[in-house]
Amino acid sequence: MQVMTQSPVETSVWHRLLSRQLTRRSALGTVAGAAAAVSLPVAFSDAQATANNGAPVTPDTQKLQPRAFPPFTPIEPTAADALTLPRGYRYQVLAPWGETFTPDGRTLGFNHDFVGYFPIDMLQGGKSSTEALLTINHEYANPMFVGGDTKERTAKQIQAEMQDVGVSVVRVRKEGREWKVVMDPRNRRIDAFTPIELTGPVRGSAVVKGATMVKGSVGNCSGGQTPWGTLLTCEENVDGYQKAWAGSGYEAMHQGWVTEIDPFDPAWTPKKRTGMGRFRHENAAVTLARDGRVVAYMGDDMQDSCIYKFISRDRYNPADRNASRDLLADGDLYVANFGNGSWVLLDYARNKKLQEAKAGDKPLFTSQAEVLADARAAALAVGGTPVDRPEDIEIHPRTGDLYAALTNNSRHGNFFGQIIRWTEKDRDPAATTFLWEVFAYGGPQSGFASPDNLVFDPYGNLWMVTDNSDLGTNPIKAYHGNNAMFFFPTEGPNTGKAYRFAVGPVDAELTGPVFSPDGKTLFVAVQHPGEDSESLDKLTSTFAAKEGTRIPRPTLVAIEGFPGWRQA
């Protein structure tokens, strides 16, 4: 999701949309474990577990080469209200908003974003490509479509929206050529009401008025998967709700964190990992340092904001899942300085710059909890480099290189964005220095604009989806058509060249791409089709509408038909 300015009244596009639509609807009168033993160093075969948003992959990536050319005939831009794919590829609508999927009758939330693929047999060491628990982030609820049965924002309307955000855990299975949602006791919703525990330095601190438990996870944008089979869901645009959901008990300081959820264990209380900082969390790309500590790379999706990494205090022990589920509670947060290629520690006790930072003549921070609660200010105070809206970050399955989407920054004329990549010193994710370069530039010459989510396939090719919604009808994006998905070779003569694979329907973003472990199914979400509709009577899209209706629905789709892959 796009965010354009830091102004408090425009902290989220969602918020602007919300205000506008409520006004229109009113006008129209419409209804609306420390040092555990691990084998060292971590080889690429271990590193491959970090590909694919952290979801497992099955091919042995050491033997497979990335492709110099795409496994499809690239398609042209289009403004059609359809999901357009290359010849030979097909999709099915799998988990649309509003469908019942839990034994107790809960329905899928709105505006799907990150998708996590957890093979159903993962905890037994399996990598099923035909059955899984999927996690689906629901980034925000559009009141034109969700809840509305009054002209004003009633408690009932707010309740409907609070129930339609968060995360869904959904069991799916492939039967013949079709994927199906399967009823399962682990199917559940985490929404804006779910009890969640604070962990790390902010837990119980003055910053949260002593709170140890909070309510809900919202603004769930992208995310990541851990090697021990949990979801990290990232809370991005959370500020507008204080006003929009007034009276609901919503507390902004309880949001804006990384929340860990165990899809396999509904009894395990989700945890907010405050040590990973509070900002507009886009994602968390997880890997292991050479010494076995856990490293997570994260972007703060705002203009002139930074890229971070968190390194756990303790090491990962694959044999102890219970201990693993605590690993992200303690560790160090760093911010990237791209000027000298270094990672700068954000620790109040150990970094004097944080102790000396001032706002006027007052100290900016007096504790680590305060540093974490405003990690953006802390990052800028210690020389973190403000970059152009860092969105998704992914880890190359063969090289370990980091790739980050810098979406755009209209403040200084970067309208098209870039994808950058960097290599940690000695290829160790715990390194404190790195080298970086631009991998691909957006613009008419390359064909894409505003890179957002990234995912690697099992072969080390990069796939990217765009979010150029904030360019509006600006003629500079006339070449682009609707938001789209692109393929990039990462090695060889076509490195960084963009090939258009898919184009989404009108006013939609494609989000949350993830492959099944064998690479044969690509799951991707179609988020906010028809978002710029004036009213329910003037819809710009009818994508995935229920039979007999015209209301567009955000949905997960499953894409198949990767013939080239079977030859590899």
388 binds Ca ion (CB under 5 A): no
Sign of CA dihedral 490, 492, 494, 496: positive
State the pairing for strand pair 509-515/521-527: antiparallel
Look up residue 352 and give its two tokens: 């004097």
Of 164 and 452, the one with the shorter C-beta distance to Ca ion is 452
- For residue 454, report the phi and psi dihedrals to the nearest 5 degrees: -125, 155
Of 198 and 455, the one with the shorter C-beta distance to Ca ion is 455
Look up residue 546 and give its two tokens: 């229920």
Of 317 and 468, the one with the shorter C-beta distance to Ca ion is 468
Q: How far is the CB of 476 from Ca ion (least distance, A)?
A: 21
CB count in 10 Å sphere of residue 332 = 17
Of 333 and 404, the one with the shorter C-beta distance to Ca ion is 404
531 binds ligand FEO (CB under 6 A): no
Q: How far is the CB of 221 from ligand FEO (least distance, A)?
A: 3
Give the one entry of ligand FEO, Ca ion, none that residue 53 binds, where binding means its C-beta sits below a cut-off of 5 to 8 angstroms depending on kind: Ca ion
Q: Report which secondary-structure segment, H or E, holds 356.
A: helix 352-356
Q: How far is the CB of 390 from ligand FEO (least distance, A)?
A: 9
1 binds ligand FEO (CB under 6 A): yes
- For residue 242, report the phi and psi dihedrals to the nearest 5 degrees: -55, -40
282 binds ligand FEO (CB under 6 A): yes
317 binds Ca ion (CB under 5 A): no
Of 205 and 521, the one with the shorter C-beta distance to Ca ion is 521
509 binds Ca ion (CB under 5 A): no
Per-residue mark of binding to Ca ion, 49-68 (x: CB under 5 A): ----x---------------
394 binds ligand FEO (CB under 6 A): no
Specify the long-range contacts of residues 86-91, CB closer than 8 Å, at least 24 apart. Answer: 86/501, 86/502, 88/561, 88/563, 89/559, 89/560, 89/561, 89/562, 90/559, 90/560, 90/561, 91/557, 91/558, 91/559, 91/560
Q: How far apart are CA 507 and CA 470, in angstroms?
A: 11
Give the one entry of ligand FEO, Ca ion, none that residue 262 binds, where binding means its C-beta sits below a cut-off of 5 to 8 angstroms depending on kind: none
Distance of CA 356 to the CA centre of its chain: 34
**Among the residues of 135-287, which ranges form H helices?**
155-163, 241-244
Member of 131, 139, 370, 424 binding ligand FEO (CB under 6 A): 139
Of 3 and 522, the one with the shorter C-beta distance to ligand FEO is 3
Q: Report which secondary-structure segment, H or E, holds 563.
A: helix 563-567
391 binds ligand FEO (CB under 6 A): yes
Look up residue 391 and give its two tokens: 């969105």
Residues 214-243 that bind ligand FEO (CB under 6 A): 221, 236
Q: How far apart are CA 465 and CA 393, in angstroms?
A: 13
Q: How far is the CB of 11 from ligand FEO (least distance, A)?
A: 13
Q: How far apart are CA 347 and CA 330, in angstroms?
A: 12
Member of 164, 314, 392, 531 binding Ca ion (CB under 5 A): 392
Of 236 and 531, the one with the shorter C-beta distance to ligand FEO is 236
Under DSSP, the state recorded for 521 is E
Strands (E), 76-177: 90-93, 112-119, 131-138, 166-175
Of 391 and 507, the one with the shorter C-beta distance to ligand FEO is 391
Nearest to 463 by CA among 445, 444, 440: 440
Give the one entry of ligand FEO, Ca ion, none that residue 139 binds, where binding means its C-beta sits below a cut-off of 5 to 8 angstroms depending on kind: ligand FEO
Q: Which amino acid is at 379?
A: A
Under the rule (CB under 6 A), what is the footprint of ligand FEO? Answer: 1, 139, 221, 236, 282, 301, 391
Under the rule (CB under 5 A), what is the footprint of Ca ion? Answer: 53, 391-392, 452-453, 455
